[in-house]
Structure 1
Amino acid sequence: MTSLLNYMSKEMVVLLVAAMPVMELRGAIPLGISMGVDPIKALIIGMIGSMIPVPFLLVLLEPVFEKLRENDYMKKIVDKIVNRTIKKTSTIHKYKAIGLLLFVAVPIPTTGVWTGAMAASLLKIRFVPALINILIGNTIAALIIAYLSNVVANI
C-alpha cells in the first residue's frame, strides 16, 4: 500500500504538519530539517502552514462552539475544551493581546497558534490585534525552534 506522503514534496509535508493542531511548527520545522529541507525554508514554510488556520479559528470558533452547545453531548465536550483552554491561558487573560503574543512565543506543547487563537476567541480579543500578536509570537517560536533544530541537526 502506497502512502499519500510518497506523492507529496517535503515542503508540502512541512506545510501540512505545521497546519495541524498539536504538531504545528514545533513539529514541522524539526521534521523538515530532518528530511533535508533547508532550515530557513523549513522555518518559512512552517510559519505559513501554522498561520493558515488562525484567521478561520478567530472568526469561526465562537459560532461553531455555540452551535455545538445546542447538543447535550457536544456541550460537555465543548465546555471541557473551553475550561481547559481558559485554565492554560491565565497569562493571556491577564495581559490580553501582549499575553497572547507571549503565550504563542513559548515553544512548548499546547502553547501554539491553535490554543492561542482559541483563547483569543474565548477572551474576545479583537481580530486584528489577535492575528498580529499570534503572528509575532509564532515568528518568535519559529526562530527558536529552527535554531534549536539546526543546532541538534549539526551535532
Structure 2
Amino acid sequence: MIEIFETIKEELMVMLVAAMPLSELRGAIPLGITMGFTPWESTVLSIIGNIIPVPFLLKLLEPIMNYLENTKLFSKTIQWVKRRTLKRSRDKIKKYSIFGLFILVAIPLPTTGAWTGCIAATLLKIDFKNALTSIISGVIAAGIIVYTLSSNIIAVF
C-alpha cells in the first residue's frame, strides 16, 4: 500500500515539474527517468503535467498581467515579460499564424514552451480554441522530441 502512495507521489512530482514555467517538459522527462520511470511513462506524465495549466493560463493571464502591470512592485517585470515575449514570438506567429504558435511551443529550447506560448497567445489576442489546440499540439510534439533525445541518451549509456 505504501508503495502505491510513493509511486503516486513521484508521478505527481514529475507532473508538477512539467507544469512549472522554466522546467516544463525539458526538465520533467529526464527527472522522471532518473526517478525510475521508463522514458515512455515519464513522457506521458510530463505531457499531462505540461498541458494542465494551459487552459487556465489562456483564460487568466490577461487580467492578471493587466492588474500586475498597474502595481508599483511588478510593473517593470510585466512590461519586460511582454516585450521579451513579443520580440521573440510576434514575427513567427504573425507570419505562420497558429502554426507559428505551435512551433514556438514545440521546439524544446529555453524560453520556449507552453507558458511562453500562452503569454504570446494572450498578448497577440489569439482565439482561445485555436491557441489551446496549437499549444497542446506543441506540447505533445515537444514531448516526443525530448522523449527521443532522452531515450537515445539512455541507449548510449
TM-score, normalisation: structure 1: 0.91
Distance 1:107 1:121 in 2: 20
1:61 aligns with 2:64: no
Indicate the residue corresponding to 2:147 in structure 1: 146
Indicate the residue corresponding to 2:127 in structure 1: 126
Indicate the residue corresponding to 1:3 in structure 2: none
Q: Is the 8 A contact 1:92 1:100 kept in 2?
A: yes
Distance 2:153 2:7 in 1: 28
Q: Residues 77, 40 of structure 1: CA spacing in aligned structure 2 closer, same or farther, 3 A cutoff?
A: same
Distance 2:9 2:75 in 1: 40
Which structure 2 residues correspond to residues 9-20 of structure 1 after superposition, within 5 A? 9-20=9-20
* Alpha-carbon displacement from aligned partner over 1:11-52 (angstroms, at most 9, x marks no partner): 121111001111001110111112210211111110010111
* Alpha-carbon displacement from aligned partner over 1:95-127 (angstroms, at most 9, x marks no partner): 221100111111111110000011001000010
TM-aligned CA deviation for residue 7 of structure 1: 9.2
Root mean square deviation, CA, Å: 1.6
Distance 1:48 1:119 in 2: 21
Gaps of 5+ in 1: 1-5
Alignment-mate amino acid for residue 81 of structure 1 = V
Indicate the residue corresponding to 2:98 in structure 1: 97
TM-aligned CA deviation for residue 76 of structure 1: 1.5
TM-aligned CA deviation for residue 77 of structure 1: 1.5
TM-score, normalisation: structure 2: 0.89
Indicate the residue corresponding to 2:3 in structure 1: none
Alignment-mate amino acid for residue 120 of structure 2 = A
Q: Residues 32, 7 of structure 1: CA spacing in aligned structure 2 closer, same or farther, 3 A cutoff?
A: closer
Distance 1:65 1:135 in 2: 22
1:116 aligns with 2:117: yes
Q: Is the 8 A contact 1:96 1:125 kept in 2?
A: no
Give the secondary-structure state (helix, strand or coil) at the position aligned to 2:74. helix
Give the secondary-structure state (helix, strand or coil) at the position aligned to 1:72. coil
Distance 2:95 2:75 in 1: 26
